[in-house]
Chain A
């Protein structure tokens, strides 16, 4: 299987903080890849770099054979990479259906039909005429998923799709991902929900402090010593101070 999405040695620093340090990952075409790591390990930063919301200080990003490092977000989108956000970003003053139509490329009637199909697929078609600002959090997550799909991207980056939603919704989301994957879509998913990731992904990459610590099938990753080490701090999370902003390493002193 060929790697559809690849990063090589990507580096990104915010001031003195090295969010990503020589980060190399691979996502095979047609697979569902997971990206996990403790808070602050650089997962969202990596997404930002891949999708053009942040500039890489070094390294490259490849889509197939094509280098797409530091390409702007709208180009990234046009190249077939879709992406959702950790904090849902929807157009609050537009209706749900209108939200979908913003992203859709084709003409009027066809676009509406397609949009309604996607809304049905994720299950919020009943709300199509309501203002998106009135949706609940879980519904927004579904809307995010829906309009990423409208443009029919080849690969979809999901940033914590199961974050903050109840159990049955999590299962629904997992089912949808499986269905889409069966239809040929590639996924790269950032998640903290271990069950979700292990149950869904073909391959899991673990980030810690901005670089890859381990990569492989879920069963192996689960028991990998380095992964457990990286997460050890997580077990004491309740006693620790609040986690730092995404993009900043949790453990100081590890960077040059």
Chain B
């Protein structure tokens, strides 16, 4: 019994890493652009399909393939932001971004359907099936690599945010957009690049997700709702929070799964609601700008 629990915790942490890869981009986009990007789920799947394309048709290793898919997704992200999101303003902005990101999701999903059909796919590599035995537990190789990748990317993002001039601009914009403009930050450029980065990171998440799950064009929906729950729990805009929340949520689900797989996912969402009752801004959420 105890062994099962420890294994579940270990699994939860590792899977949490994968979800963190996907959630981090989403929370970054929220933090800077103040929008909930519903398309993120489908973008993960797009990333998975891109990796699939490279792996199957060019026989490129999955991780090496990221060197191509991430820049490609970055560009896709910038284009989406520039073409659609940038124009959304005014009072109805929230509903507009919901509708637009949903529209983008639909279009991408439709295209994926047309190109790949509805069949399930999964990424494969030598290390996808193998696992390592550590302290008596089986830790799947791909998950370990995925977790390491997640940590590496989170560290990279932190470095970007806290050690570069661009990162400073991003943080300034996150805190106060008007003030950022006033000191000369090109807020539009920051938005576009941030969106691009958020989507690029998603490519990595897509690859690992695609290696550990079978997917089809429709898989984005279940994903996005989980990702949203994770970033809210972690605190909107907090990258570290997204990592922590992913690990937490997935571990909880993994534990409940021991007793009842059916209820595990309900618990996932219930955990969110519960935490928010106690702490409305999530783990590391910033309290709203202080009222005058």
Are both chains from one complex?
A: yes
Q: Which residues of A contact B (CB under 8 A)?
A: 44, 48, 53-54, 85-87, 89, 93
List chain B residues, Cβ under 8 A from A54: 290
- Contact between B292 and A89, CB atoms less than 8 A apart: yes
Question: Please, how many angstroms separate the alpha-carbon atoms of A48 and B290 in the complex?
Answer: 10
Give 10 A-B pairs besides A53-B291, A87-B292 with Cβ atoms closer than 8 angstroms. A44-B292, A48-B291, A48-B292, A53-B290, A53-B292, A54-B290, A85-B292, A86-B292, A89-B292, A93-B91
A47 nearest CB neighbor, chain B only: B292
CB-contacts of B247-292 with A (<8 A): 290-292
Interface of B is mostly: loop
List chain B residues, Cβ under 8 A from A89: 292
List chain B residues, Cβ under 8 A from A87: 292
B110 → chain A closest CB, angstroms = 36
List chain B residues, Cβ under 8 A from A48: 291-292
A241 → chain B closest CB, angstroms = 12
List chain B residues, Cβ under 8 A from A53: 290-292
A-B contact pairs, 12 of them (CB 8 A): A44-B292, A48-B291, A48-B292, A53-B290, A53-B291, A53-B292, A54-B290, A85-B292, A86-B292, A87-B292, A89-B292, A93-B91
B292 → chain A closest CB, angstroms = 5
List chain A residues, Cβ under 8 A from B292: 44, 48, 53, 85-87, 89
List chain B residues, Cβ under 8 A from A85: 292
A247 nearest CB neighbor, chain B only: B290
List chain B residues, Cβ under 8 A from A93: 91
List chain A residues, Cβ under 8 A from B91: 93
Question: Please, how many angstroms separate the alpha-carbon atoms of A44 and B113 in the complex?
Answer: 58
B172 → chain A closest CB, angstroms = 14
Question: Please, how many angstroms separate the alpha-carbon atoms of A53 and B290 in the complex?
Answer: 8
List chain A residues, Cβ under 8 A from B291: 48, 53
B290 nearest CB neighbor, chain A only: A54
A83 nearest CB neighbor, chain B only: B292
A246 nearest CB neighbor, chain B only: B292
B291 nearest CB neighbor, chain A only: A53
B101-123 interface bits toward A, Cβ cutoff 8 Å, 1 = contact, 0 = none = 00000000000000000000000
B179 nearest CB neighbor, chain A only: A245
A28 → chain B closest CB, angstroms = 27
B176 nearest CB neighbor, chain A only: A245
List chain A residues, Cβ under 8 A from B290: 53-54
Question: Please, how many angstroms separate the alpha-carbon atoms of A86 and B291 in the complex?
Answer: 12
B211 → chain A closest CB, angstroms = 45
Question: Please, how many angstroms separate the alpha-carbon atoms of A50 and B292 in the complex?
Answer: 12
Question: Please, how many angstroms separate the alpha-carbon atoms of A54 and B289 in the complex?
Answer: 12
B91 nearest CB neighbor, chain A only: A93
Question: Please, how many angstroms separate the alpha-carbon atoms of A86 and B290 in the complex?
Answer: 14
Question: Please, how many angstroms separate the alpha-carbon atoms of A87 and B289 in the complex?
Answer: 15
A73 nearest CB neighbor, chain B only: B291
Question: Please, how many angstroms separate the alpha-carbon atoms of A54 and B292 in the complex?
Answer: 8
Question: Please, how many angstroms separate the alpha-carbon atoms of A48 and B291 in the complex?
Answer: 9
A107 → chain B closest CB, angstroms = 30
B168-184 interface bits toward A, Cβ cutoff 8 Å, 1 = contact, 0 = none = 00000000000000000
A87 nearest CB neighbor, chain B only: B292
Question: Please, how many angstroms separate the alpha-carbon atoms of A102 and B291 in the complex?
Answer: 19
A52 nearest CB neighbor, chain B only: B291
A14 → chain B closest CB, angstroms = 8
A228 → chain B closest CB, angstroms = 30
A40 → chain B closest CB, angstroms = 15
A133 nearest CB neighbor, chain B only: B91
Question: Please, how many angstroms separate the alpha-carbon atoms of A54 and B290 in the complex?
Answer: 8
B185 → chain A closest CB, angstroms = 16
Question: Please, how many angstroms separate the alpha-carbon atoms of A97 and B290 in the complex?
Answer: 28
B175 → chain A closest CB, angstroms = 12
